[in-house]
Each structure stands twice: as C-alpha cells, then as structure tokens.
Amino acid sequence: MTAEARSNLRGDYSHAAPDYTVEQDWGAYSEAEHALFRRLYERQAKLVPRYACPEWIDAIARLDAGRGIPDFAEVNRSLSRATGWRIVAVPGLIPDEPFFTHLASKRFPVTVWLRKPEEFDYIVEPDVFHDFFGHVPLLYDRVYADHLAEYGKGGLKAMRLDAIRMLARLYWYTIEFGLMKTPAGVRAYGAGLLSSGGELAYCVEDPKPRRRPFELERMLRTDYRIDRYQDCYFVIDSFGQLMRETAPDFTPIYARVRGMAVLDPAAP
Ligand code: PHE
Ligand code: CO
C-alpha cells in the first residue's frame, strides 16, 4: 500500500505500531455504535442458519457476539485455546507485508472502527462488523485456521515472486467469497458473503452467478469486481480440500499462469 493509497483510507494510522496494530480501546465505543453492531448482527443472524457453512455456525455460538462490538481481549482467551490464533486491532486495511506476517504468525488483523448508520447495507472498506462477523468465527476451525496461516506464509513468498495479484485472486474467491458443498446444499464460508445483507442469499440461491468447482489455476487467473455481487463463485468440498489443493509449491504454477490471459469472471 502506497502513502497515497493510505491517505484515502478512513482509519487513523497515526498511532499504529510498526506492525500496524493499535489498541482496541473497547471502552471508547459509544452505546450507539454497540447498538448499530447489534442491528447488523441481528439482520445476519436471520440469514446464516440457511446460508452459512456448518463450521461457521458451530463457531459463532461460542462467541456470544450479539451483545455489541466484541472486546478483542476477551475473544482471544477462547480463540487462543481453540486454535492458537489471536485477533489484533488495526486501523483498517494494512500493507501486504505486515498483513501476511500477521497471518503467518496466527494473528488476524481486525479493523477497530464501525461503519456509519447510513452504510448499513453497503460499505467499501472492511469495518469491525465485516472483519469480526465474517472472518473470526472460522478461526475456531482447526483446518481453516491452519490453512489461513499457510496462506500468510504463501503471501510472503508471493511477494518475493512478484505474484501478489494472482494470490490475491485466490484469497478473494476463497476467504472472502468462497462457497462450500454440504449435504444440505451449497453454503457460504467467505467473509464477504457472511457479512453481507444481500449477497448471502444471492450467492446460494440466485440462478445467475456461475458456481464452479475449486480449480486453483482458474482462480489465480480470474479477475474480480469489488463493487457489486460476484458473477462467479468457486465451490470447495471441504476445508480439507482447500488445505490440500493449496499445499503444493506455487512457484511453477505462478510461472505458468503469469503467461496466460486473465479471465473475465462473467465469462461462460
Ligand atoms: N502452497 C503455496 C506456495 O507454495 C502457499 C499457499 C498456501 C498459498 C495456502 C495459499 C494457501 O506458494
Ligand atoms: Co475480509
């Protein structure tokens, strides 16, 4: 992230440590912010029983996050026991290197600020609701959590190989917008879906988007749009599959994919 990109972000980076973490300062949230978080939570809580993957549903019950913006220190007591992960507070999006370093060290960066009431349905940058509700429950799942730490190491490696664009597409189509096949049908595990009021039902039920089986090279090649519902989703069988299929050394895969055309997500 360049200084210019950072200056367009709304978080306050002036007090951040070199690894971009800040104090959460939980006591500073207003009652109105806790109430807004609860309203967001309640809207999603009605949808997730039908659309979220079972691993996410199992985990959210352990979090008791419906009361308001969670206190990260409290979450860390149970999370570190479950999988060795912790969450750390950050001012918002952070540059690639500290981001990957946090993941590789089993620390998930969570934005401290909450969206404004007028952004109830849509927000451009990730806020504490997206980061917490979408990402944190799955950190309680052993296989998912291990995979995400491997992704972090893979990110540092991709930086050395100048392959961040390709790896970012994989993140987008898995961690943010991934679907999973379950006995009950297709379900969401991507955080961008789980925290979305509209796309969560759309991704599972709407006939329009394409739902492709997991295919590593295609994911590394497929562009994405950040400003509307996705045209294309990739469906995994399980987090075990995600772990297995991303385990091989990507160096030769990057070399091959680099020479191929980027794919349009809306292409048939
Ligand atoms: N196996 C990948 C590599 O060698 C790293 C990776 C692991 C990437 C898990 C994504 C997810 O680069
Ligand atoms: Co996210």
pLDDT tens figures, 215-249: 999 999 999 998 899 999 999 999 999 999 999 99
Task: Calculate how far, in angstroms, residue 130's C-alpha sits from the geometric centre of ligand 2.
Answer: 6
Residue 109: CB atoms within 10 Å: 22
Ordered alpha helix ranges (H), the chain: 3-7, 31-51, 54-63, 72-83, 96-104, 128-129, 142-160, 164-171, 191-194, 199-205, 216-221, 239-245, 251-258
Phi/psi zone of residue 111: left (φ > 0), alpha (ψ -120 to 50 degrees), beta?
A: beta
H or E segment at 109? strand 107-111
Q: Tens digits of per-residue pLDDT, 131-152?
A: 999 999 999 999 999 999 999 9
Q: How many domains does the chain have?
A: 1
Q: Which of 60-64, 111-115, 164-168, 208-212 has the lowest mean pLDDT?
A: 60-64
Give me the pLDDT at residue 3, please.
57
| Dist. CA 249 → ligand 1 center (Å) | 7
Q: Closest Cα to atom 9, ligand 1: which residue?
A: 151
Give the CA count within 13 Å in the CB-facing half-sphere of 20: 23
Which residue has the least CA distance to atom 5 on ligand 1?
Answer: 154
Q: Which domain holds residue 179?
A: 14-258
114 within 8 A of 36, measured Cβ to Cβ: yes
Q: What is the pLDDT of residue 8?
A: 79
Decide if 1 is inside a domain: no
According to DSSP, the β-strands at 185-188 and 179-182 are: antiparallel
- In order of 95, 186, 223, 224, the CA distances from 267 in angstroms are 31, 21, 11, 12
Q: Give the C-alpha separation, 101 to 127, whole Å.
A: 20
H or E element at residue 232: strand 232-236
Q: How far apart are CA 155 and CA 162, in angstroms?
A: 10
Task: Give residue 61's pLDDT.
Answer: 86
* pLDDT, tens digit, 9 for 90 and up, residues 11-65: 999 999 999 999 999 999 999 999 999 999 999 999 999 999 999 999 998 898 8
Does residue 6 sit within a domain?
Answer: no
1: pLDDT confidence band, cut at 50, 70 and 90?
low
Q: Looking at residue 6, what is its pLDDT?
A: 62
Mean pLDDT across 162-189 = 98
- By the 10 Å C-beta count (0-12 exposed, 13-18 middle, 19+ buried), 27 is classed as exposed
Question: For ligand 1, what atom is nearest to the CA of residue 147?
Answer: 9
Residue 3 lies in a domain: no
Cβ density class 191-226: b for 16+ within 10 Å, e for less: bbbbbbeebbebbbeeeebeebebeeebbbbbebee
Q: Which residues line ligand 1 (CB under 6 A)?
A: 147, 150-151, 154, 157, 170, 246-250
Instruction: State the ligand closest to the CA atom of 135.
Output: 2
7 falls within a domain: no
126 Cα: distance to centroid of ligand 2 (angstroms): 6
Which residues, at least 6 apart from 86, have a Cβ–Cβ distance to it below 8 Å? 76, 79, 80, 106, 107, 108
Residue 2: what pLDDT? 57
What's the pLDDT band for 98 if we cut at 50, 70, 90? very high
Q: Residues 6 or more apart from 85 whose CB is under 8 A from it?
A: 79, 106, 107, 108, 139, 145
Average pLDDT over residues 1-20: 81
Atom number, ligand 1, closest to the C-alpha of residue 254: 12
**Do residues 263 and 221 lie in contact, with contact meaning Cβ atoms separated by under 8 Å?**
yes
The reply to whether 205 falls in a domain is: yes
Q: How far apart are CA 183 and CA 53, in angstroms?
A: 10
- Best residue for ligand 1 mutational test, from 246, 251, 253 (most atoms within 8 Å of Cβ): 246
pTM, rounded to two decimals: 0.95
Asked, for residue 265, whether it belongs to a domain, the answer is no
Please indicate, yes or no, if residue 124 is contained in any of the structural domains: yes
Are the C-beta atoms of 245 and 217 separated by less than 8 Å?
no
- Ligand 2 centroid, distance to 55 Cα (angstroms): 17
Residue 8 lies in a domain: no
Ligand nearest to the CA of 193: 2
Please provide the average confidence, as pLDDT, over all residues in the chain.
Answer: 95
Ligand nearest to the CA of 131: 2
Which CATH number does the domain housing residue 46 bear? Answer: 1.10.800.10
Q: What's the pLDDT score for residue 95?
A: 96
Q: What is the pLDDT of residue 64?
A: 84
